[in-house]
Amino acid sequence: MLNLKQELSHVIWIGGSPCSGKSTIAEKLSRKYDFYYYSCDLHHEQHIQRCNPAEHPFMQRLKDLSSNEIWNRPVIQQIHEEMEYYQDEFSMIVDDLISLPKHQMIIVEGTAAIPESVAPVLTHPGQAIWIVPAPEFQVLHYSQRSWIQDVLKECDDPGLAFQNWMNRDIGFAHKITQDALDRGLKVITVDGTKSIEDHLEEIEQHLKDWLNF
């Protein structure tokens, strides 16, 4: 049986909730330190194609829902099922990482990197960080994303769908924040009062032992 802590000791994890700037941070770090950047979002479609009912029941059940079906579910149900969905996906993320060369450090970034899944494979808390947006910051910046309207126009009630979407992500951010803190893991909240460079400096300080591995 693989020792995942050892197998993934060259991996840095950046998780969090959407609209927090985590992908920008991960891209900047990967360029600065010449690390391999693994985006969970960019591999998501591959994971959907690979999932099966026996090993990934929530992914299998939710992957074919329409936008209307997704955003009309009760918010509490959405949060719970999102956590289960990412737990299903995590095994495929790990498989991807193990298949990559070991000679280069890897930065993994994405909402799928939830504390419950990541914590057991860490060798030290300084190997991971979670970034979440303040609710007002999230809603403001989400509403500025042009592709949002393409999703909402498929819903019977776009206004309600957007409200449910925002409440789902706010609840998700709260859930992973609590899960991370309960495990002694680092979380930062982005509210627009600091620049991306300020957050980058704070994150580099936290990850310094792995950035200089």
Q: What percent of the chain has pLDDT over 90?
A: 85
Q: Could you tell me if residue 73 is inside a domain? A: yes
Residue 150 has pLDDT above 70, yes or no: yes
The pLDDT score that the predictor gives to residue 204 is 96
Q: Could you tell me if residue 173 is inside a domain? A: yes
Q: Could you tell me if residue 210 is inside a domain? A: no
Structural domains in the chain (count): 1
Q: Could you tell me if residue 212 is inside a domain? A: no
The pLDDT score that the predictor gives to residue 145 is 81
CATH of the domain at 79: 3.40.50.300
Q: What is the largest CA-CA distance in the chain?
A: 51
Q: Could you tell me if residue 213 is inside a domain? A: no
Q: Which of 12, 6, 2 is nearest to 125 (CA)?
A: 12
Segment 91-109 shows an average pLDDT of 96
Across the chain, what does the average pLDDT equal?
Answer: 94
How many other C-beta atoms lie within 10 A of the C-beta of residue 119? 17
- Which tens digits make up the pLDDT trace of 123-146? 999 999 999 999 999 998 888 887
The pLDDT score that the predictor gives to residue 2 is 64
Q: Could you tell me if residue 69 is inside a domain? A: yes
Segment 102-123 shows an average pLDDT of 97
Q: What percent of the chain has pLDDT over 70?
A: 99
Report residue 185: phi and psi, to 5°: -105, 155
- The residues, ordered by sequence, that sit 6+ positions from 188 with a Cβ below 8 Å of its Cβ are 129, 130, 131, 132, 199, 202, 203
Q: Could you tell me if residue 59 is inside a domain? A: yes
The pLDDT score that the predictor gives to residue 213 is 66
Whether 68 and 154 have beta carbons less than 8 Å apart is answered as yes
What is the residue range of 177's domain?
A: 4-205
Supply 65's token pair.
């829902």
Residue 1 has pLDDT above 60, yes or no: no
- Which tens digits make up the pLDDT trace of 30-64? 999 999 999 999 999 999 999 999 999 999 989 88
